[in-house]
Structure 1
């Protein structure tokens, strides 16, 4: 009888839990549907309005569908986010919108890369041609925040606030000692002396090759940073360098004295300034519209039957479908193929923001770019990073556009095979035994060291793929394999250097690349269409909602250390040959 009641109780509990889960899912779907309907409505802009730019929110390549609003486990930590495409369109539209009287920038710590920031800065600088004012205000400016804010006509800082201006650094974390203590040997096979993604697992400091390239690319990024600020603030670049080098900005007044900001103000004073700029009296409420709401009214200004297709390739490269933040070879290949076979699409822009990833998946996408190029012009536009596999998929394009602070190159390949024998056998007492029908039946086993024969086979495979990599680049860039090998070897380059050595064609914006594609296709009137379709949030929740929850809470617990966790997880989860950038570039 006791067993009977136990099973009955378990059944009832299971039934109740099922009802609760179904109820929660129904609630989420209803909320999503209502939110989706409301988000489709464009926002009316009142006269004499201030366009409010929150540049702390995530700036991705495309605006995510905001079906779930600000639910933190679904979105970007509770922040809505906006796509660079919509952000640039909105600023351009505001330039000629009589209802928009000025722009107010709020930025403390931007959530995007340096090349993306430069796209936004240039759009703001172009907006100023309308003779409308841009003012920026913050209580704290990080270096990235100040880089964005410096494009404004007036930059204000809280009297008790701070402005970070100290120069760039790139710090790598090495795990060799940790692995040795754990009894794990990381067996490395690579092609290219600069392919340093493996170094954190086999060294305790940077190699001379890696130090050389990191020094060059950090200095390149810093040069662009100082040059752009010097032009906007009308301060000599050498002076800016000295200010940072001597750490002269230690309190708010220092920022005024060295002409980095125009004044120190509290928020109420900024609001009075905005009233004045927008033609409102001190007693009147400021009329404002957020950049996110303003973007809902964006539309393609061009007309005509002809189209230019933008293919967004953002994130790490892997096989399969991927998503909006991961380049799946199947999904991106299908999008390129669809654009190639559509007779109304006359040109293609491949927008790449990727550090690379799976080598085979990169080749699958490259093949579709080659086929598309035979049918119509293909122009590549690089964002913050288009390195290793990210460069691979674009090297066949007719022309490659970069920002001066884009990170690219890293033409090389590597493989990591961990050996857990010492950990499992010597420390935990786990042993292995078995039978095999061939000498190499257990090649790449992780419970013993590789044999000389296995190393020879795997190195040969990597050598063949690297030879194919430089061959594809040489064909696409119309260079010799010997030359590509000389600038390859895993070497990372900034955009300006990439143009100089022939890995890219010109420094230009995302919009410049679109215009170039239209010009090459001899189009005067055209529409811009975007592929692949943005992933539906409900589908995303049902397919990888658990991963989103885990990622959110991991970020909350680990904070800045989440990057280290992500790096370890990425390497341990990688399989096959990797065409991946050798390090994470995080500069604030």
Structure 2
């Protein structure tokens, strides 16, 4: 017994010592991660803006990046990038911007905002150099405003025009004996077409052709202005496929020359005053964010609420717009007397109609309470995203923002034959009422149930039109004529009265300040940053899941997985949503 207590006490002591050691290690770890070294810009700095990065509405934080050599572990938000470019415009330490424009991970709305910020930066006489080994059309749409834009001699510049290609799953579902039971309102509501058609309907072909034409015309106009060419010539270049090799882009004046990366940087060094190549003070956006205070300061407060991703019922996360989370954010801003105006920045293709209704309600109450509500659209603000925004005092969009899609649908698969004929699985059960099992996916709907679901969709569509008609001060029949699930470019949305002005988030914030009659203000931004442990644990879980899928199935596999997740959330839920993804090539 005595030896037992000796062993027990020794083990207890060892455990206690281990806990103390781990405690101090953990405290040191936390201190190391949360403390920030003083970062300085230095002299003759050149900001590096990498367009291959996707700058979301809400920035990404990676606390573990401080233990690696990757100083760009954190990715700033799109608006932070805008503010840093504006700050650098008057920062004497910053002499220019080096734009990596090979590829572009940002949508057309975000790209337009970045492009406008770079044009404003250049107005002070500071330089912008752009370079890419292979320059895509998305990268070129921003890079063409540079003082000099160069391409790798063995690379290329893409100039072929725009295209959209959609995948249709009807044939696959038929082979699997899966029946997609679909109900929709709006002849342009194309989100369900992949399940019910083998090719585009004429309505969908029309809306996408018009919208894509608007986007393409915008590219031609901006390129013509930047490169001192005419739009007809540029259009002909694409039609005749003139730009096949990198040298062709020089011949036809789309770029300024062919150079390797070191040659471009040597030119920048000369521009800085014959600085040696390895001594150029390149500074990333991530580092610049830690070196300068680029955020506005003032007495009054304007709430800026960022909303990105699919709209869902419940809480969601930072890549989703959960109705519970955002309803509380809107309410918090609405009831806070210190907040004088609310600006909502939204980038979403929609989702749950009920979730959109609940958020619409909170913004409507804010407006009725006398607090200005201004909405800024990003790359896309369609369907449910437009629903929740439509009653704002003012709505801003970019010319290339995908806007509108006022329409509704729901769907429920019938998997009975798939399970029975393909897998040999059958189902049986009991119920207490005739309709208790209506929304199960293992039997077909009855005619009466189909009628009920279609009536539900029609009713939601009517409510949607009603909300838009009231918010935009239009007749409901007019809203129906431009609705029907149709998507529009931001420029056409302005003509139709779906938005009030063309512009970015800065313009929306300035409008909100004017409406609130304040000039000395700062921004209160939501969602608020996670604390350290939330960021650390959240990133770990996200990274483990995504890296496992990407490692096994690649980038396309990741997209398929994300699509399947979306499909799952759509089952049996009335949706105000555009097609899964409109990828413009």
Aligned: 1:581 with 2:575: no
> In structure 2, do the counterparts of structure 1 residues 71 and 392 end up closer, same or farther at CA, with 3 Å as the change threshold?
farther
Q: Which residue of 2 aligns with 1:9?
A: none
Which of these residues, 205, 214, 219, is aligned with residue 220 of structure 1? 214
Aligned: 1:122 with 2:116: yes
Deviation at 1:348, TM superposition (A): 1.0
Which of these residues, 300, 308, 314, is aligned with residue 302 of structure 2? 308
Deviation at 1:545, TM superposition (A): 4.7
Q: Which stretch of structure 1 is more off in the superposition, 338-347 or 250-259?
A: 338-347
- Distance of 1:552 and 1:491 partners within structure 2: 36
Aligned: 1:505 with 2:503: no
8 Å contact kept, 1:157–1:265: yes
Aligned: 1:381 with 2:363: no
Alignment of 1:382-531 (within 5 A): 382-531=377-526
Deviation at 1:222, TM superposition (A): 1.3
Q: Which residue of 1 aligns with 2:344?
A: 350
- Distance of 1:373 and 1:463 partners within structure 2: 28
Which of these residues, 274, 281, 287, is aligned with residue 281 of structure 2? 287
- Deviation string, structure 1 residues 349-388 (Cα, Å, up to 9, x no partner): 1101011111111111111100111231111100000011
- Deviation string, structure 1 residues 522-542 (Cα, Å, up to 9, x no partner): 112111121121334632554
Deviation at 1:449, TM superposition (A): 0.9
> In structure 2, do the counterparts of structure 1 residues 490 and 70 end up closer, same or farther at CA, with 3 Å as the change threshold?
farther
- Distance of 1:420 and 1:174 partners within structure 2: 19
Deviation at 1:303, TM superposition (A): 4.2
Aligned: 1:54 with 2:50: yes
Q: Which residue of 2 aligns with 1:188?
A: 182
Cα-Cα RMSD: 2.6
Q: Which stretch of structure 1 is more off in the superposition, 549-558 or 148-157?
A: 549-558
Aligned: 1:142 with 2:139: no
8 Å contact kept, 1:109–1:141: yes
Deviation at 1:324, TM superposition (A): 1.8
8 Å contact kept, 1:63–1:81: yes
> In structure 2, do the counterparts of structure 1 residues 271 and 400 end up closer, same or farther at CA, with 3 Å as the change threshold?
same
Q: Which residue of 1 aligns with 2:197?
A: 203
> In structure 2, do the counterparts of structure 1 residues 488 and 30 end up closer, same or farther at CA, with 3 Å as the change threshold?
farther
Consecutive unaligned residues of structure 1, counting only runs of 5 or more, are 1-18
> In structure 2, do the counterparts of structure 1 residues 165 and 329 end up closer, same or farther at CA, with 3 Å as the change threshold?
same
- What TM-score, normalized to structure 2? 0.91
Alignment of 1:234-383 (within 5 A): 234-282=228-276, 285-299=279-293, 302-374=296-368, 375-383=370-378
- Distance of 2:408 and 2:277 partners within structure 1: 64
- Distance of 2:357 and 2:536 partners within structure 1: 30
> In structure 2, do the counterparts of structure 1 residues 63 and 276 end up closer, same or farther at CA, with 3 Å as the change threshold?
same
- Distance of 2:201 and 2:328 partners within structure 1: 40
Alignment of 1:5-154 (within 5 A): 34-38=32-36, 41=37, 43-69=39-65, 80-154=74-148
8 Å contact kept, 1:355–1:580: yes
> In structure 2, do the counterparts of structure 1 residues 183 and 210 end up closer, same or farther at CA, with 3 Å as the change threshold?
same
- Distance of 2:584 and 2:27 partners within structure 1: 39
Q: Which residue of 2 aligns with 1:15?
A: none
8 Å contact kept, 2:58–2:78: yes
> In structure 2, do the counterparts of structure 1 residues 42 and 111 end up closer, same or farther at CA, with 3 Å as the change threshold?
farther
- Deviation string, structure 1 residues 499-533 (Cα, Å, up to 9, x no partner): 11111111112111111110111112111121121
- What TM-score, normalized to structure 1? 0.91
Deviation at 1:569, TM superposition (A): 3.2
Q: Which stretch of structure 1 is more off in the superposition, 343-352 or 280-289?
A: 280-289
> In structure 2, do the counterparts of structure 1 residues 457 and 546 end up closer, same or farther at CA, with 3 Å as the change threshold?
same
8 Å contact kept, 1:32–1:67: no
8 Å contact kept, 2:41–2:291: no
Alignment of 1:536-555 (within 5 A): 536=531, 538-539=533-534, 542=537, 545-546=540-541, 548-555=543-550
- Distance of 1:485 and 1:124 partners within structure 2: 39
- Distance of 2:294 and 2:357 partners within structure 1: 33
> In structure 2, do the counterparts of structure 1 residues 164 and 31 end up closer, same or farther at CA, with 3 Å as the change threshold?
farther
Deviation at 1:232, TM superposition (A): 1.4
- Deviation string, structure 1 residues 3-22 (Cα, Å, up to 9, x no partner): xxxxxxxxxxxxxxxx9xxx
Deviation at 1:42, TM superposition (A): 5.4
Deviation at 1:244, TM superposition (A): 1.5
> In structure 2, do the counterparts of structure 1 residues 331 and 414 end up closer, same or farther at CA, with 3 Å as the change threshold?
same
8 Å contact kept, 2:346–2:385: yes
Q: Which stretch of structure 1 is more off in the superposition, 512-521 or 531-540?
A: 531-540
Deviation at 1:547, TM superposition (A): 5.0
> In structure 2, do the counterparts of structure 1 residues 44 and 168 end up closer, same or farther at CA, with 3 Å as the change threshold?
same
> In structure 2, do the counterparts of structure 1 residues 183 and 159 end up closer, same or farther at CA, with 3 Å as the change threshold?
same
Aligned pair count? 564
